[in-house]
């Protein structure tokens, strides 16, 4: 059972034939070579596979590829301007929010989704927004700091 679907990934049009039982994460990683999106559990618990679907953060391991027909997908590869890090990515690097880096793409996408809706989040809001993204290395604190800094460059002291 296959379907032809058309959608955008990072603003590029994609037309592809997918199996009805194929996951979005597999299409991104295996078919489109967008391996920035990671799989950490396959069960929607770790958040490593987080991408934006029409602007909302979702776990791409729990979305069928056929469902994104006509929609817009944004992955970690779509944050930067080619090699130029965006403000959030740069804050992650500068503030020590990255260690092994495996949770980083999903963490960035959750943070991006938050900042797109709320450009002055409180620390509590940041913690909550990323609480569906497990990180075993950093202890989360540097990540929270990085998201705060990316949100408010003016008060960069915080």
Partner 1 sequence: MENTVVGKSYPRLDGPVKALGAAKYVADLKMPNMLHVKVLRSPHPHARIVRIDSSKAAALPGVRAVLSGQDCQAMLGLYLIDRPIFAIDKVRFVGEPVAAVAATNLRLAAQALALIAVEYELLPPVLDLATALAKDAPLVHEKLHEYAHIHNVFFPVPHTNISNHSKIRKGDVNLGFSQSDYIYEATYRVPQMQHVPIEAHGAVAQMDMTGKVTIWSGCQSPNAVRKLAAVAFNLPEGRIRVITPQVGGGFGGKAGIGIEGMVMALAMRVAPYPVRLILEREEVFCGTAVRQGLQATIKTGYTKEGRLLAQEADLIWDGGAYTEYGVNIVRAAAYSSAGPYDIAHLKTDSYCVYTNTPVGGPFRGFGMGELHWALEQQIDVIAAKLGMDPVAIRLQNAARDGSTNATGEVLVGVGLDKCINEAARLIGMDSISEKKLHHGKGLACMVKGPSTPGTAASSAFIKVNEDGSINVTISSAEIGQGMQTVMAQIAAEELGLPMEMVHINTPDTDYSPYEWQTVASRITYSTGNAVQRAAREARGKLLAMASEKLESPPESLTIVRGVIARRDGIGPTTSIKELALGLSLPTGAGRGGPVMGTGYFIPDGIHGMDPETGQTPKVTSHWTFGAQAAEVAVDVETGKVNVLRVSAVYDTGFVLNPLLALGQVEGGIMQGLSVALYEELQLSQGQVKNPSFVDYKIATAAELPEMLVGFVETPLDDGPYGARGFGEHTMVPTAPAIANAIFNAVGVRIVDLPITPEKVLAALRAKPK
Partner 2 sequence: MFNKFDYVVPTSWADACSFMASHPTAMIYAGGTDILVRCREGRLLPSHLVDIKGLPGATAIAQAEDGSIVIGAATPLNAIERFLKGKAGYEALVQAAHVVGSWQIRNRASVGGNICNASPAADTAPALLVLEATLRLVGPSDERILPVGEFFLAPGKTALLPGEILRSIVLPAPAEPTVSIYLKAARTKAVDLAQVGVALLMLPDKNVRVALGAVAPVPLLAWSGRQSAPPANWTTEETERLVSVVEQMVAPITDLRATADYRRHMVGVLLRRAVGQATLLHQERGEGR
Residues near partner 1, by CB under 8 A: 29, 33-43, 45-46, 48, 75-77, 79-80, 83, 85, 89-90, 92-94, 96, 98-105, 108, 126-128, 130-144
Do 92 and 148 form a contact (C-beta atoms < 8 A)? no
* Helix (H/G/I), strand (E/B), else coil: 136: coil
CB atoms within 10 A of CB 97: 27
The owner of tokens 């915080």 is 158
**Which option in partner 1, partner 2, none does residue 10 bind, with CB closer than 5 to 8 A by kind?**
none
Q: Residue 10 has which token pair? A: 């990072």
Cβ of residue 22: shortest distance to partner 2, in angstroms? 8
Sequence-distant (6+) residues with CB within 8 A of 119 are 151, 152
Question: Looking at beta carbons only, is 73 or 126 nearer to partner 1?
Answer: 126
89 binds, among partner 2, partner 1, none (CB under 5 to 8 A by kind): partner 1
Query: In whole angstroms, what separates CA 139 from the centre of its chain?
Result: 19
Residue 58 contacts which entry, partner 1, partner 2, none (Cβ below 5-8 A, type-dependent): partner 2
| Strand pairing category for 12-19 and 2-9 | antiparallel
Pick what 64 binds: partner 1, partner 2, none; C-beta below 5 to 8 Å, kind-dependent. partner 2
Which of 8/80 has CB closer to partner 1? Answer: 80
């Amino acid at each position: 059972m296959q379907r032809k679907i058309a959608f955008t990934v990072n603003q590029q049009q994609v037309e592809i034939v997918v199996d009805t039982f194929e996951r979005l994460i597999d299409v991104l990683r295996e078919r489109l070579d967008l391996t920035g999106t990671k799989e950490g559990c396959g069960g929607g618990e770790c958040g490593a596979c987080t991408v934006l679907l029409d602007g909302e953060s979702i776990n791409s391991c729990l979305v069928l590829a056929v469902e994104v027909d006509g929609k817009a997908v944004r992955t970690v590869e779509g944050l930067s301007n080619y090699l130029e890090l965006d403000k959030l990515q740069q804050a992650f690097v500068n503030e020590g929010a990255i260690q092994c880096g495996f949770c980083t793409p999903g963490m960035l996408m959750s943070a991006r989704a938050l900042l797109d809706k709320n450009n002055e989040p409180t620390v509590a809001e940041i913690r909550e927004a990323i609480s569906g993204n497990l990180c075993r290395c950093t202890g989360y604190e540097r990540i929270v700091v990085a998201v705060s800094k990316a949100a408010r460059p003016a008060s960069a002291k915080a």
